[in-house]
Amino acid sequence: MIGINNLKTEENSKIDIKKLKKSAIGNFSFLFILLGLLFFLSAGTIFYWEAWLYMISFLIPMILMLRYLFKNDPELLLRCLKRGETKSEQKVVKILFNLFFLGIFIIPGFDKRFGWSDVYFIIVFIADVIFILGYRFFFKVMKENSYASRIVEVETGEQKVITTGPYAIIRHPMYLAVLIIIVSTPLALGSYWALLPVLPMLVLLPIRIKGEEEFLLQELEGYAEYMQETKYRLIPRVW
């Protein structure tokens, strides 16, 4: 354990922590402001309590996660800030996915403005709780896998197959966390109509997973054996 901690400290010392903090805080602050603009401009009002509750549910776990990563695993935070995909087919999937993801943030505001949906408070509250649990699960997966990244890649000569924690049950727990966040968001924002963009995302997610697995089979040693041991990709006993 001492050796591992010393190694982690040595790796972290190579990173410009001050620059990383500035970049991370800037990125996440921009994201938070962008969410507010999407919600309140589309709604045409700041009196949109579902959006305020969602933003609080988003902000608190995000601050706790950033605090942990700054202190314990800045390399993981650096990977999470990467954006550019190298494989063209994954670029297309990611662009489409992000467009539909944008839809689940814009539609609820118009839904609020024109009164298309009537989502009960208790449903909104439960959806926020599920969202927070999804975010918490996302954080747990990230802590388990320090090689996690927003793009499909393998760290040359360094990366190994993670088989512990959630990875012992399913091969892509991070995507399960994303799925929980995606499905809960429209209802947390008080909109049934915003569930419509979720449907194509449920198709794109398996496409991305399959493409990622093809890449990992070629580039990551031991992944074929891991696939044999851990049968399910996303949902235990389903797929």
Assess whether pLDDT exceeds 90 at residue 133. Answer: yes
Would the CA dihedral through 29, 89, 172, 162 be positive or negative? negative
Which fold does the domain 2-229 belong to in CATH?
A: Four Helix Bundle (Hemerythrin (Met), subunit A) (1.20.120)
| CA gap 232, 166 in Å, rounded | 11
DSSP 8-state code for residue 226? H
Assess whether pLDDT exceeds 90 at residue 40. Answer: yes
Assess whether pLDDT exceeds 60 at residue 149. Answer: no
| Residue type at 215 in one-letter notation | F
Distinct helix (H) and strand (E) counts, the chain: 9, 0
Q: Give the pLDDT band of residue 76 (cuts 50, 70, 90).
A: confident
Pick the more confident residue, 238 or 233.
233
- The tokens describing 59, both together, are 């902000």
DSSP 8-state code for residue 129? H
Judge whether 209 and 146 are in contact, CB under 8 Å.
Answer: no
- The tokens describing 166, both together, are 């959630």
> How does the average pLDDT of the chain come out, rounded?
84
Angle at alpha carbon of residue 157, lines to 156 and 161, rounded to 5° = 90
Q: Give the pLDDT band of residue 2 (cuts 50, 70, 90).
A: very low
What pLDDT does 188 receive? 97
Question: What mean pLDDT comes out for the span 88-94?
Answer: 76
* Phi, psi of 128, rounded to the nearest 5 degrees: -65, -40
- The SS3 of residue 87 is coil
What pTM does this model have?
Answer: 0.83
Question: What mean pLDDT comes out for the span 31-59?
Answer: 95
Q: Residue 64: which residues within 8 A CB-CB, separation 6 or more?
A: 139
How far CA 191 is from CA of 44, 131, 183, in Å, comes to 15, 15, 11
Assess whether pLDDT exceeds 60 at residue 176. Answer: yes
* Phi, psi of 57, rounded to the nearest 5 degrees: -65, -25
DSSP 8-state code for residue 59? H
Assess whether pLDDT exceeds 50 at residue 8. Answer: no
| CA gap 123, 188 in Å, rounded | 8
- The tokens describing 70, both together, are 């700054």
Assess whether pLDDT exceeds 60 at residue 129. Answer: yes
